[in-house]
Amino acid sequence: MPTIEKINGSIFKVVYGNPTNPVDVTLPYEDAYSGLKCEEINGKLQVIDAGKTIISEKDSKVDGGIFSVTFSYENAHFFGFGEKMGYLDKRGKHFKMQNMDNPLHTPDLDPMYISIPFFIAVSPKKPAMGIFANSTSYTFFKTGNDFDVSAKDDGIELYLIYGPKVQDVVGKFTQLVGKMEMPPAWSLGYQQSRWSYSTASEALDIAKKLRSDDIPCDVIYLDIDYMDGYRVFTWGENFKNPKSFSQEMKKLGFKIVTIIDPGVKVDENYEIYKSGKSLDAFVKDRSGKDFTGYVWPGRCNFPDFLRSDVREWWAKSHKSLFENGVDGVWNDMNEPAIVWTDSKTSKVFELMQKGEIDFQILGEAKAFFAQEDFGDEIVHKDDKGKIWPHFKVRNIYAYLEAMATKQAFEMYKPNKRPFILTRAGFAGIQKYAAVWTGDNSSWWEHLEIEMPISMGLGMSGVAFTGTDVGGFGGNADGELLARWTEMGAFFPFFRNHSAIGTSRQEPWSFGKQIEDTIRKYIKLRYALFPYIYTAFYFSHKDGVPVMRPLLFLDQDNENLYSINDEFLFGDSILVAPITRPNATWRTVYIPKGKWIDMRNGNLYEEDHVYKIDAPLDEIPIFIKENSMIFKTDPANYIFEKEKMNLYVDIYGQEAVGYLYEDDGETLDYKAGKYNLYEFAVGALSQGYTIGIKALNHGYAGKYKKVQMNFLNAPRQIIEVTLNGKKTESHFDGKTLKVEFEMEDVI
């Protein structure tokens, strides 16, 4: 029988058996809802809302070390599960949560890098319910009318989270596991990366070329080649003078993000290895020796991030990065990915030398590249000295590494916002890091599938997500890169990255026409910065993702559950990317409300499918009628200018919009040093009223000159009032413009 604990009006905690779990969730918080009940009826759990059963338990059992509970929720569709291949609606699937580096993202690949044992069951006209299995061990899910939630453990701790709306479930889930903090403003800009920028001058040349080609960009990434023989926290021969390198980068307006992998090279002459060894910081094998596995540097040991002293040592080790001007840290290979171990290699070589190749062993060796996790082989120890087999904590290895990395920022960059990018993680990873979806390929199929993957992450609490634009593996062509950049400009995280040995895919790699298109959409991203930053603010505050599926508009409309190739970016933008080569149009389903094509002002009606043109240099983008889009002038990089112009484009006749701003780099916003403005526009018979007020005014502000653009103003407008006073306006035959200084109205 489970124990049932009411956390608040919307959330029940239900514990079956004796689960082991080293991660705490943030509890409790207030919630005023009172209709939800969770009861045991005839020995089975029932979740009842306003008198109706919505979820009922059918069975619970232990089998082969796996604890399973089966529930039913009639006609359920399933969303979330963190990072998973496949479409948005995850009905009829089997999933495993086990952080894994499996670089070939085939349609049925499972598991992937991140484990978020959380999903939302949705059905028209029913309250959406979220289920979070708070287990750091491996978890398993089967979805259908009946669905199973299982863990490789002696029990399972579940949180049942009531909506009724899907976005409420996401918000409440992030109340439990934590929300994204405001990221540094620069991390919303375009970012350039490639595995192979192997000298400081090569990286500088890329930066200079971006500037001379007038392509806005905020960040250059340094992949493993900057290190000395892939030893983490070192600088190699080709980056001999990292400080002057970073100073030159800063002069050009670039930030630097360096990769850090968890594997520490076993090398008696290497400081980090020596200090780790003296702290006894590494995970052990079953015999009690430091576990050794092979990654980029060769033989490595792996920090035991379960221990707080190890996390502190790891945090301190970032000194060599931060004192040399590094701005952000990219945590990779942190599932952890281990390619090879001594015991397996020696077995294979022994057999090969004897001429007796055992195919079973070879097969086993091959499987290393795919599914090996060392779950039973590696041993951790926590702060209390408790021993944990790796499989029980593997899923939080990267989460704890990110926690340590955040600590490094606190140590060396106090009052600066951290920027951490991670490949692996667990529920709540958004508290520490942004997430990219790992090693995709330069395939059209991957361009397309990145939409539901990122939306799935967003529905699982991770708002700051993105993909390797252009594809990591394989060779991109110009058309693919152009289309991917058009789409990537509307993902929360926007970085072009590719693998060594593949064709180059910097913006200029495929000639002028492609570069012009790429520049156009990167500039649009920069123009939209005020809108995007505000969307991030609301995501930070409410947990609602920046990139959302259309079903957020109307979860009673089952048609929306299967729309995987359109998405919402913030409250008012609908994006419909081109996902096929040679395509110059596509069909677009228009959801609830009326939507206006941003390119030409054409108006589209809800619940219709339209054929929409999209030549190579255009992506269909629609703005919700009666909304406002806040823009600025694109610059070389975010906040290049101390004073910025603000443009407020009004689509429709009446709208309310919000604009958030702060200094973009410190933690001062937490103490109220930010501005949140409400802009309201109303239509009169022969004019408009504009009302602007500060809901919070705690920061000097960068937006000085404001221009409000009424895009569909009728010709006969004669009067506009601004905060109650008559003001001047100018009609250019198409758009009515009203201009003023922000300081005059606030």
CB of 195 to ligand GLC, least distance (A): 3
The one-letter amino acid code at 303 reads P
By CB under 6 A, what part of segment 248-267 binds ligand GLC?
A: 259
For ligand GLC, give the closer residue by CB, 105 or 392: 105
Chain centroid to Cα 403, Å, comes to: 16
Contact between 613 and 585 under an 8 Å Cβ cutoff? The reply is: yes
Distances (CA, A) of 231 to 262, 317, 345, 379, 640: 10, 12, 22, 23, 34
CB of 699 to ligand GLC, least distance (A): 36
Contact between 18 and 155 under an 8 Å Cβ cutoff? The reply is: yes
Among 285, 327, 373, 439, the residue binding ligand GLC under the rule CB under 6 A is 439
Contact between 256 and 219 under an 8 Å Cβ cutoff? The reply is: yes
Which residues are bridge partners to 301 per DSSP? 264
Q: Where are the beta strands (DSSP E) in 212-333?
A: 219-222, 255-260, 264-265, 293-295, 298-301, 328-331
Site string for ligand GLC, 203-232 (x = CB under 6 A): --------------------xx--------
For ligand GLC, give the closer residue by CB, 390 or 423: 423
Is 59 catalytic? The answer is no
For ligand GLC, give the closer residue by CB, 120 or 260: 260
For ligand GLC, give the closer residue by CB, 272 or 527: 272
Is 332 catalytic? The answer is yes
For ligand GLC, give the closer residue by CB, 417 or 423: 423
Q: Furthest-apart CA pair in the chain: how many Å?
A: 94
Annotated catalytic residue: which of 157, 332, 506, 566? 332
Q: Which residue is nearest to ligand GLC (CB)?
A: 195
Burial state string for 664-689 with b = 16 or more CB within 10 A and e = fewer than 16 = bbbbebeeebbbbbebebebeeebbb
Closest CA to 187 of 532, 515, 455, 484: 532
Contact between 425 and 394 under an 8 Å Cβ cutoff? The reply is: no
CB of 179 to ligand GLC, least distance (A): 26
Compute the distance between CA of residue 495 and CA of residue 421 in angstroms, rounded to an integer: 11
Compute the distance between CA of residue 731 and CA of residue 715 in angstroms, rounded to an integer: 8
Compute the distance between CA of residue 436 and CA of residue 439 in angstroms, rounded to an integer: 9
For ligand GLC, give the closer residue by CB, 22 or 103: 103
Site string for ligand GLC, 494-523 (x = CB under 6 A): ---x--------------------------
For ligand GLC, give the closer residue by CB, 332 or 372: 332
CA dihedral sign of residues 86, 91, 94, 95: positive
**DSSP assignment string, 564-627:** -S-EEETTTEEE----STT--EEEEEE-SS-EEETTT--EE-TTEEEEEE--TT---EEEESSE
Compute the distance between CA of residue 278 and CA of residue 290 in angstroms, rounded to an integer: 12
CB of 306 to ligand GLC, least distance (A): 24
For ligand GLC, give the closer residue by CB, 331 or 341: 331
Among 16, 119, 186, 195, the residue binding ligand GLC under the rule CB under 6 A is 195
CB of 611 to ligand GLC, least distance (A): 37
Question: Residue 45: which H helix or E strand, with range?
Answer: strand 44-49
CB of 103 to ligand GLC, least distance (A): 6
Annotated catalytic residue: which of 218, 248, 439, 661? 439
Contact between 662 and 541 under an 8 Å Cβ cutoff? The reply is: no
Query: Does residue 423 belong to the site contacting ligand GLC (CB under 6 A)?
Result: yes
Query: Does residue 83 belong to the site contacting ligand GLC (CB under 6 A)?
Result: no
CB of 521 to ligand GLC, least distance (A): 22
By CB under 6 A, what part of segment 465-494 binds ligand GLC?
A: 472
Site string for ligand GLC, 619-658 (x = CB under 6 A): ----------------------------------------
Distances (CA, A) of 214 to 217, 276, 460, 636, 644: 9, 45, 37, 7, 19
CA dihedral sign of residues 491, 497, 503, 509: positive
CB of 63 to ligand GLC, least distance (A): 35
Site string for ligand GLC, 133-152 (x = CB under 6 A): --------------------
CB of 314 to ligand GLC, least distance (A): 18
For ligand GLC, give the closer residue by CB, 198 or 485: 198
Question: Residue 17: which H helix or E strand, with range?
Answer: strand 11-17
For ligand GLC, give the closer residue by CB, 93 or 497: 497
Annotated catalytic residue: which of 101, 335, 468, 663? 335
Among 82, 262, 328, 438, the residue binding ligand GLC under the rule CB under 6 A is 438
Q: Which residues contact 284 (CB under 8 A, 6 or more apart)?
A: 290, 291, 378, 379, 381
By CB under 6 A, what part of segment 556-595 binds ligand GLC?
A: none
Compute the distance between CA of residue 219 and CA of residue 203 in angstroms, rounded to an integer: 11
Site string for ligand GLC, 301-340 (x = CB under 6 A): -------------------------------x--------
Q: Which residues contact 574 (CB under 8 A, 6 or more apart)?
A: 550, 566, 567, 568, 590, 591, 595, 621, 622, 623, 624
Query: Does residue 118 belong to the site contacting ligand GLC (CB under 6 A)?
Result: no
Contact between 705 and 745 under an 8 Å Cβ cutoff? The reply is: no
Both tokens of residue 12? Answer: 């029940």
Q: Around 456, how many Cα atoms within 13 Å sit in the side-chain half-sphere?
A: 30
CB of 566 to ligand GLC, least distance (A): 27
CB of 238 to ligand GLC, least distance (A): 15
Contact between 291 and 302 under an 8 Å Cβ cutoff? The reply is: yes
For ligand GLC, give the closer residue by CB, 259 or 576: 259
For ligand GLC, give the closer residue by CB, 14 or 224: 224
CB of 686 to ligand GLC, least distance (A): 58
Q: How many residues bind ligand GLC (CB under 6 A)?
A: 10
By CB under 6 A, what part of segment 346-405 binds ligand GLC?
A: none
Is 63 catalytic? The answer is no
Binding region for ligand GLC (CB under 6 A):
195, 223-224, 259, 332, 423, 438-439, 472, 497
Active site residues: 332, 335, 439
